[in-house]
Amino acid sequence: MKNKSYLTKLFLLMLMSIVSDIQSQELEINQGPFKPSWESLKSYQTPEWFRDAKFGIWAHWGPQCEPEAGDWYGRNLYIEGHQQNKIHNEKYGHPSEFGFKDVINQWKANKFNPQELLTLYKNAGAKYFVAMANHHDNFDLWNSKYQPWNVLNMGPKRNIIQDWDNATKKVGLRFGVSIHASSAWSWYEVAQLSDKSGPKAGITYDGNLTKADGKGKWWEGYDPQDLYAQYRHKISPDVLNRRLAWSNPGDAPSKEYLLKFYNRVRDVVQQHQPDLVYFDDSHLPLNHESPTYGLHLAADIYNGNIKRNGKNEAVINTKSLTEEEKKCLINDLEVGTERNITAVPWQSDACIGSWHYKKDVKYKDAKSVIHALADVVSKNGNLLLSVPIRADGTIDEDEKEILKGIGEWLAINGEAIYNTRPWTVYGEGPSIADKTPNNSKGNMPLYRKAPYTPADFRFTRNKNVLYAIGMAWPEDHKIIISSISDKLIKDKFKVSLLGSQENLKYKLTAAGLEISLPVQKPNVIAYAIKIDGLLN
């Protein structure tokens, strides 16, 4: 029996290897030093531009912003009783007659001015900008060669990614794209359902419509299955619960679906040559189905970047990476932060509101963002901040004020953020003993609920200069930085307050570096002490 079990396992491994080889032969790839294996990808080195940039802004914007009703609208409109389902029925009609394909047709983005937005983002201190190229809704926001349901053929009928690309380059920022469509196959399964009660009970939603059903409709000539990717496939018994459905799927995605996704990614990268590609996936896209596709994409992106730049300056963000995988890609923590300094760079992505624009949502303020940024940077990370965009392509006045507040702080204290590296410890004070449980994504929450105290600091360094970012201003204008001793700094060192011309009074004691701050605060959010004379 043991021999039989061994032979069975051996046969399965051989079969998987054969299937992987067949898949590999079908996947086009840029040739170069990187091969489609984790072992080869380990030679990756994070580009200095990314390590220096620290702060990016993200436009998580597409047709799901049309109703201005929040995130995952394209899925939730098909879940009977969900708030977005109720909004959809009232605003547009029943999902059997007016589904997400029709929401796309409503989205016109008639006030979209990418140059104006990129100017705001640059003034807010961003060093890179990322535009969503597609979401789980499977709609491509560029002139896609492989997806007919794209922004040139319907909706705004303009190349959104090209517009973002042009504006980003004009203001001198690095450009990235985010790709989320790998999971559309299962994400849209709810579009095959129907109401269980009411006058439309039993009438299937529009997820099974075909090209033939479009005769005389606005979408005549287009196949809804190119968007919904259902093809009447068997759906998960847990279809209404996204998390359970992921581990208990219906039919596996077809080979055609997987290859189409692969080609779409290559298409947007080849057309727009982004510096950064963000995959909203664990490990690599389609890893759940086969690691072959994601590994080929990673090697292809790196090799293509080397061809263009002479060296690899590409960044690939994915999630839930193992320690070994973190040597190959940049791990991304959604609305999370590390608990300590990491050996390799990483990124946190977060939003000030709802991922897709939602009316009347309460935003995180500039202070929350700056505190999060300081914490992330002190631990060897970058922060990618999403600023929601309305259906028409504009941001609201509250968001403009938040961006202004972020920019004003960075204009004074940016040298404590940009081009820095972690120190020996990331911080001190009550906040470093934070035992807050992990968030739903498995990470320490990025936005701290408990207020920071005047004893809380975050540290960064640039060569022999140490920065201590004070998270709260002391009422008595006195601080002690206990992590600094005479063993860490030169005999002759200088202490100053960024944004202030006043000479500070300071001295080293057994308790640490004692500093008297001026009466006038440089900024109300936080402040940065510059200590010039750090020993190596």
The single residue listed with the structure tokens 């990235």 is 176
Per DSSP, what are the bridge partners of residue 56?
Answer: 128, 384
Q: What is the pLDDT of residues 196-215, one digit of tens each?
A: 999 999 999 999 999 999 99
Q: What is the pLDDT of residue 436?
A: 87
| Most distant CA atoms of the chain, gap in Å | 83
Domain ranges of the chain: 2-75+108-187+245-416, 76-106+189-228, 427-534
What backbone torsions phi and psi does residue 235 show, to the nearest 5 degrees? -100, 160
Residues lower than pLDDT 50 in the chain: 1-22
Architecture of domain 2-75+108-187+245-416 in CATH? Alpha-Beta Barrel (3.20)
Please count the CA atoms within 13 angstroms of the CA of 280 that sit on its side-chain side: 21
What backbone torsions phi and psi does residue 232 show, to the nearest 5 degrees? 55, 30
pTM: 0.94
Q: Which helix (H) or strand (E) holds 170?
A: helix 160-171
Smallest Cα–Cα separation from 468: which of 409, 426, 500? Answer: 426
**May I ask the CATH class of domain 427-534?**
mainly beta
d(Cα 529, Cα 469) in Å, to the nearest integer? 6
Q: Which helix (H) or strand (E) holds 178?
A: strand 174-179
DSSP string computed for 469-489:
EESS--TTSEEEETT--TTTE
DSSP string computed for 92-143:
T--TTTS-HHHHHHH---TT--HHHHHHHHHHTT-SEEEEEEE-TT--BSS-
Q: What is the pLDDT of residue 4?
A: 46
d(Cα 92, Cα 72) in Å, to the nearest integer? 17
Look at the chain and count its residues. Answer: 536
